[in-house]
């Protein structure tokens, strides 16, 4: 895609994101910043806490994968798939809104490598991630 088409692809991806049942259940919101990073916002929801009333690590892993995927996706004409991703939980958190951001480290013809992070609304770094995403043979719907 040319840089001119990235904005249109991002708008379509936001609409796709908003229509996903898991996103509606989580209450997440997707946007893009001026650098093209996907920003995934999750308002605090006590239903995502584990037994110690802190936000469950699986929720944070989902946010990291989502931020990386939506950062990479606009750059490909075909649907992409997560090949692998890593999660590093740095701090437990409770009763806070979270924001995940993705950043492309390397973009190839079929593979994108991204780094992701989660911060609290106050800016405290609580999780890091890295992921590899690959273009599939399935035509994208964006």
Summarised one tens digit per residue, pLDDT across range 12-30 is 999 999 999 999 999 999 9
Length of the chain as a residue count:
142
The tens digit of pLDDT for each residue in 82-114 reads 999 999 999 999 999 999 999 999 999 999 999
Please, what is the Cα angle at 60 between 116 and 34, to 5 degrees?
A: 35
Q: How confident is the model at residue 140 (pLDDT cuts 50, 70, 90)?
A: confident
Which pLDDT does position 114 carry in this prediction? 98
- Average pLDDT value for the chain: 95
Compute CA 54 distance to the chain's CA centroid, rounded to the nearest angstrom. 21
The tens digit of pLDDT for each residue in 27-46 reads 999 999 999 999 999 999 99
């Amino acid at each position: 895609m040319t840089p001119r088409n990235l904005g249109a692809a991002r708008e379509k991806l936001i609409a796709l994101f908003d229509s996903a049942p898991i996103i509606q259940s989580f209450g997440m919101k997707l946007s893009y910043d001026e650098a093209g990073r996907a920003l995934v916002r999750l308002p605090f929801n006590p239903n995502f806490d584990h037994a110690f009333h802190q936000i469950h690590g699986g929720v944070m892993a989902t946010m990291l994968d989502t931020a990386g995927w939506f950062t990479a996706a606009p750059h490909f004409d075909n649907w992409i798939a997560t090949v692998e991703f890593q999660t590093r939980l740095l701090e437990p958190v409770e009763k806070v809104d979270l924001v995940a951001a993705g950043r492309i480290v390397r973009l190839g013809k079929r593979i994108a490598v991204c780094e992701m992070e989660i911060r609290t609304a106050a800016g405290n770094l609580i999780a890091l991630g890295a992921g590899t995403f690959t273009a599939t043979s399935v035509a994208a719907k964006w």
